Structure 1
């Protein structure tokens, strides 16, 4: 007999397995893991359970270990099932009896009795989670002094940020949508807001884009008809920003599927850019550009609020692979600038190897970022900008980025 809600829990367990054992992103794993889950609500629940289990995994495991005589192996199935049961009870306000009814069927025999005993013991003890999730040890080591502040920003999924096609209409759209604005051309709404139902979606008045992700394009200023290359452009938020700011945009990316999404957003917003699907390591432009924006491929650890899987699947190997690619892309971007042109380099990563250490190798004249170019509450350091999820916490935080800017003499 089918148990209501069981397919969603089985899917959540499969998502955890894909992330922790195979190193996949939740996005990569979703199509397979959710294939037998019917309805958007249950699919959303499965992703929410897996996300909260990953966000709080260190603390959930500490609770599990406190209630077992012999420590369960890291990859033991009962541990993963207990993680999703506890994530529901302690983070998603699922009644304990419902967590048991939909969790224990994922196990058989002795493991089922073990999971039942551990979960029941913790519930009777009134188990709770700390206010801020504990980061994995290796993550804390990499992030150093910033780790505690970042962890505070990871505690909750992010709000919904919108970028406006017309920054002059910021006040109007903030009022129409009932949100807040932290910068011209930006509106922030509570998380969970259904995007396509919002006023202005069909007419292309805005697009979804985290506040931090808007900063690289902002730092190039108004285009006034000048030529800019948006290198590694997909999914396209920065291309839309640059086109709206009056730049003549060439948007280049290797992913045909993701560039189709960009093309759809260009059509929806009525903006124009030349779309090129090519490998940036082989492509050669016809002429230099007045500006190049390189939002480089990276480990994306700065998106840990919305993608907590990065806390568990990113390590030194992935960082090294990304830094090698970034260095090659930076070298090409520098060669494609005209005299007097500007280069902005950005990564949505919290790793110094992908940010500050890459920036030191760029053979161009630094063009320091100024405080008056940034939203209130953000400040440059040594001419570059480092954002993280712990900043602007009272307003809902933002993703972690490193951004730097140079000029071609």
Structure 2
């Protein structure tokens, strides 16, 4: 038989239920648990974690708190540990509540009394006095976060081994700021017009960059489908395809459709393939908004089991660890480790081998990943070329790229943290363009 709740606890629970903003903090706590304990993606966990929140602002706050905790987690822990005699275990609720509270005080500029009033109820059944004491000590000492976040130790070691200390430093600096919003346009002239209207910056034809804190659906031209959101690095693979002139292209793993729309706008007859019906719904909605749907055939299926006719162009934006988008999705720093990287590299190799057989003689294969791991980029292509001597690198030329991004000595594109830093940066990406012999 369950032990009855004491009147004191019932009164306290009822009072806490009335604390403004408590629901958003509970949702943030659920989000962080999903990422750090269950390994879920932050965006994937968002819907379930924010159930019961009726206001969009509360959902946005929950997401902001969780994302900033992940962005600054090692430094938040260092502050907490600086005022505790005995270390608080990493996986207990009280440490997570303290991380969230510090993010609100130090980054979101929430008044301390409001933070404490929503933090203590989250420690239900836990050490409230400890949480209150730690926060009090840090507030009185005017604790601050460093200007640049500290990367997780394992991530810094892995990236340092691959790219060197300068890349690690650049990645930490990039993590300190939310990414800008990049727009891709079907028509370059429209990009120039809207760039002036929005006060944005164009880094190459058909591109506009905006400050990150804008409401995308409220921007000019959204409803008319003149543009779509797409990081400048993510726009490069489809740009390398050139003009289609009615030729056949397959966009594999295509959703949400940014590259599909680029290819269609460039005159390719595109088949967009993706496994996920839900993601294809978003792709279809984007095609309808852009007015490019008539040029695209949408297909649901697994590329490893698909049997298409030969194509002139295949664009494979392969599933990957997504470590290159850590600025936008800091959860990847805690979800993508050696095992996940090895698994996605194995899948990429299978997809490349499959796609190779669908290409016409003299056709072009463009391979891309939003990854900072060599195993999913340079190493993957080296292994593919060893298995498929009928393919050769079709080098990328500097005049195909925006100023500030240069091809590698092998003719690939590799965007690392620090690229376009003065203009707001770019996602980490790898792109290889390959030609099949006749």
Q: TM-score, normalised to structure 1's length?
A: 0.98
Which residue is equivalent to 2:327? 305
Shift of 1:388: 2.9
- The one of 222, 228, 239 equivalent to 2:260 is 239
Structure 2 stretches lacking a partner, 5+ long = 1-14
In the alignment, what sits opposite 1:18? 34
Asked if 2 retains the 8 angstrom alpha-carbon contact of 1:85 and 1:103, the reply is yes
Q: Residues 104-126 of structure 1: CA distance to partner in whole angstroms, max 9, x if unpaired? A: 11014661111111111112112
Matches of 1:36 and 1:268, distance apart in 2 = 30
Task: State the partner residue of 1:391.
Answer: 419
In the alignment, is the contact (CA less than 8 A) between 1:305 and 1:389 conserved in 2? no
Pick from 150, 159, 162 the counterpart of residue 183 of structure 2: 162
Could you tell me how far apart the structure 1 residues matched to 2:42 and 2:331 are? 7
Rounded Cα–Cα distance in structure 2 between residues aligned with 1:73 and 1:384: 45
Any conservation in 2 of the 1:385–1:403 contact (CA below 8 Å)? yes
| Residue 85 (structure 1) aligned with residue 106 (structure 2) | no
Q: Is the 8 A contact 1:153 1:391 kept in 2?
A: no
1:171 — aligned with what? 192
> What is the distance in 1 between the residues matched to 2:364 and 2:312?
7
- Tell me how far apart the structure 2 counterparts of residues 147 and 378 of structure 1 sit (CA, whole Å): 19
- The match for 2:341 is 319
Conserved? CA contact 2:190–2:226, under 8 Å: no
Q: Note the C-alpha offset of 1:175.
A: 0.7
**1:141-220 aligned within 5 A:** 141-144=157-160, 145=164, 146-220=167-241
Q: CA deviation at 1:280?
A: 0.2
Distance in 2 between the 1:387 and 1:288 partners?
31
Whose radius of gyration is greater, 1 or 2?
A: 2
What is the match of residue 64 of structure 2? 48
Aligned length: 408
Alignment counterpart, residue 46 of structure 2, candidates 12, 30, 49: 30
Q: Deviations over 1:76-117 (max 9, x none)?
A: 111100000011111111122211111111014661111111
State the Cα deviation string for residues 314-368 of structure 1 (Å, max 9, x = none).
1111111101100000111111111111111000111111111101112310111
Q: Which stretch shifts more, 121-130 or 12-21?
A: 121-130
Corresponding residue number in structure 1 for 2:21? 5
**1:154/1:389 contact within 8 Å kept:** no
Query: Which segments of structure 1 move beyond 6 Å, counting only runs of 4 or more?
Result: none
2:429 to 398, 401, 408: 401
Distance 2:222 2:268 in 1: 23
Structure 2 distance, partners of 1:290, 1:56, is 46
Q: What SS does the corresponding residue of 1:305 show, helix, strand or coil? A: coil
* Residue aligning to 2:300: 277
Counterpart for residue 73 of structure 1: 89
Q: Corresponding residue for 2:401?
A: 374
